[in-house]
A and B are shown apart, each in its own frame.
Chain A
């Protein structure tokens, strides 16, 4: 109890400086901050304050490979143009190197700043299996347990399905991505898929709180518990337990194969979906395909203390790198999500509106959605719209 009051009083003192993260925690988790604090005890004391100095935030930027560097350059360009008070600390990660120094530097930078924007880091199949996926390493080390992707049909993009509005919450740290594999007998490989009660409860809790906060009515758990009875059975059980604490939200479950089939026939039936790692990967890619492709949807990885924003489908886009044809929308919208996270709502809305106007009204589309615009055309158009509607910008 003493800890509770001590922490409350500390929050009052630090309130002006805590702007970014604490406030956002309240926003995301819905229920009072104090109840969350009670769960975590004294650990809140050692979380560094947000990297906000003189009103300017510092955010880690990891360019990655493929189309990552050019898209992130555009993000920086747009932010600079719109006078967004964010400075980027660029950390390069070389995917061709076997040593983990690069990614460790990146992780340290994110721990320092609390927020990051990243491109996808390539995982070369030809390297030894001991070289772990850098993206995966980042997610598990920082415990970014929730991957959130919001797929919405955009009016200006022609797709086969309309009126899609699905929020996908995917467990981001365990499941099939544990990277625990071994070859005991030659020619026989065992890959371990780990499901834990703690992580399943945590992601289910996140899903329901997010659903409540956004006013969503239904949460669907996607699983394969008829085959993986213990593993996905545990996940399903945890979801049901958490669901019982949210009587205002309907909970149902669906097997992953049926889910994917329903998604391609009638995706409008889904509202919020929560699932383990691999199914999340597949389902989020299907949904991204349904709303127009990988170039349109931003994704966010939330942990308790950190948040990393990227494109939802995590494509490296090697084949379209440096050709000025990549769609910058996903990365720019990810930048807007980051601004929302930093509580710079005005800037976020300004840039988001400009992006949506470009997409829907001027119909300036890149090749992946059937147009002929280049990346720089789209970015220029966005900046022009910001200039015409926004308060103050640098010269065009």
Chain B
């Protein structure tokens, strides 16, 4: 069993290595990076603008290539252009693209299409309690690693020959489960984490989630310093609302990841605070953790820019512009925690632009060189 798993892992690694040789070099010319920017719908465009504004102010050597994706159009041309741009640049920052329920089922979710085509297999969301934000739970520090490409999001559904009966397929594969488990354990090791919890429903979906759990156990055996345990998803959500401090790193299939990450986002203060990242072999796309379109508060200057700004810091870290990333991150955290300038979702009365201004002020007072305000 061990030998087989090692063989499969080494096989995967060989594939990875060969891919690395053929991966295009990063889009970095004259010291400036080019990053694809997909504004999306709802609050996406205004938040993306604030990110551009902030980057320009801090003289961050990043140029954005803006690609608009029109969610109301039937053709997939827009999203194909976006995917091509991301392939070219390797990195992207995106807002959520709305999926209109009223369009026919053949219209696939644009976000999903992007994730599966670029094989962004790991969605990572780090939920941390921020000191200035009052929440019911304190000291939460959970890292959620969610399989991003298969599971319930396979978009494979059909109405059987019997009308009124729909079958949705949930696909779980050994290779992808091994891959995401490996990613989770590597990340845990890199960040010095002690415990990885696999979330599943293997008592009901014995083959599907059973396979996922088995793969996690296989990978866990290769990381003896990290404790591995598993928990059924219903118990997990209940534990999360009573005692979230017990969790460290969590790895799970797609749908449970969706639910658990939303619960955790709610626990640390809401969708406006947590950034998310989607990592693949060759590409990385950054967005807000809970992927909200925020249609109801679009263009009203009330959205919380923190999540998008922190996502852009994750982007800078990925591009190895760590100094800029920490500078901006420090400024954002100080705005959220010290200056108490909260937007409506956190119970305050600040507007988006006030928060961004405050972040820029904080950067200017501590940073080396900025444009004039």
Contacts and interface: CB of A to CB of B under 8 A. Distances in A.
Nearest to A284: B234
Interface string A251-274: 000001110111111000000000
Contacts, number: 176
Contacts of B207: 129, 181-183, 189, 191
Nearest to B151: A191
B290 A261 contact: yes
Given A188-B171, A282-B237, A224 B255 contact: yes
B175 A187 contact: yes
A179 B292 CA distance: 32
A191 B208 contact: yes
B291 to A, nearest CB: 8
Contact of A262 (B168, B173, B266): B266
B14 interface: no
Nearest to A263: B266
Contacts of B327: none
Given A189-B211, A256-B258, A261-B271, A197 B164 contact: yes
Interface in A119-141: 123, 125, 129, 133, 136
B136 A278 contact: no
B171 A230 contact: no
Contacts of A195: 165-166, 168
A123 B169 CA distance: 23
Interface stretch (A72-80, A211-219, A287-295): A287-295
B99 A226 contact: yes
Q: Which of B165, B168, B255 has the most CB of A within 10 A?
A: B168
Nearest to B242: A289
Given A195-B166, A197-B165, A229-B101, A285 B235 contact: yes
Given A176-B204, A191-B208, A285-B235, A256 B168 contact: no
Contacts of A256: 258-259
B168 to A, nearest CB: 4
Nearest to A129: B206
A123 B171 CA distance: 22
Nearest to B271: A261
B72 interface: no
A225 interface: yes
Contact of A191 (B155, B170, B237): B170
A167 B21 CA distance: 56
B345 to A, nearest CB: 9
A231 interface: yes
Contacts of A282: 233-234, 237, 259
Contacts of A224: 152, 255, 258
Nearest to B202: A125
A230 B158 contact: yes
B44 to A, nearest CB: 16
B242 A188 contact: no
Interface in A228-242: 228-231, 233-234, 236
B132 interface: no
Given A289-B240, A313-B234, A227 B112 contact: yes
Contacts of B155: 227, 229
Interface string A279-303: 0011011101110011000000000
B265 interface: yes
Nearest to A286: B237
A160 B137 contact: yes
A285 B234 contact: yes
B102 to A, nearest CB: 10
A193 B160 CA distance: 12
A125 B238 contact: no
A29 to B, nearest CB: 22
A285 B237 contact: yes
A258 B165 CA distance: 27
Contacts of A177: 204
Contacts of A193: 152, 167-170
Nearest to B155: A227
Dominant SS among interface residues on chain A: mixed
Contacts of A227: 99, 109, 112, 152-153, 155
A190 B169 contact: yes
B240 A176 contact: no
B355 interface: no
B239 A194 contact: no
A66 B372 CA distance: 67
B166 A196 contact: yes
B136 A257 contact: no
B270 interface: yes
Interface string B238-270: 111110000000000001001101110111001
Contact of A260 (B109, B164, B263): B263
A392 B43 CA distance: 65
Contacts of A285: 234-235, 237-238
A284 B233 CA distance: 12
A313 B153 contact: no
Contact of B270 (A123, A129, A226, A261): A261
Interface in B196-231: 201-208, 210-211, 213
Given A194-B165, A294-B238, A229 B265 contact: no
Contacts of A281: 201, 233-234
Interface in A184-206: 186-198
A289 B155 CA distance: 32
Nearest to B104: A229
A257 B258 contact: yes
Given A191-B205, A226-B101, A227-B109, A198 B238 contact: no
B172 interface: yes
Given A189-B207, A230-B158, A286 B164 contact: no
Contact of B266 (A179, A229, A265, A315): A265
Q: Which of A187, A230, A257, A313 has the most CB of B within 10 A?
A: A257
A306 B213 CA distance: 35
Contacts of A183: 207
Given A176-B205, A181-B206, A278-B255, 19 more contacts: A123-B203, A129-B206, A133-B204, A189-B171, A191-B169, A193-B168, A194-B168, A195-B165, A197-B163, A224-B255, A228-B157, A231-B167, A257-B261, A261-B263, A262-B266, A282-B234, A285-B235, A286-B237, A289-B240
Interface of A: 123, 125, 129, 133, 136, 160-161, 176-177, 179, 181-183, 186-198, 224-231, 233-234, 236, 256-258, 260-265, 278, 281-282, 284-286, 288-290, 293-294, 313, 315
Going nearest first, the 8 A-B pairs with the smallest beta carbon separation are A197-B164, A187-B174, A289-B241, A264-B266, A261-B266, A289-B238, A181-B207, A160-B136
25 contacts: A123-B203, A129-B206, A129-B210, A133-B204, A179-B206, A188-B171, A188-B173, A193-B167, A194-B167, A194-B168, A196-B164, A196-B166, A226-B109, A228-B157, A228-B168, A233-B105, A256-B258, A258-B292, A264-B241, A278-B201, A281-B201, A282-B234, A286-B237, A289-B241, A293-B238
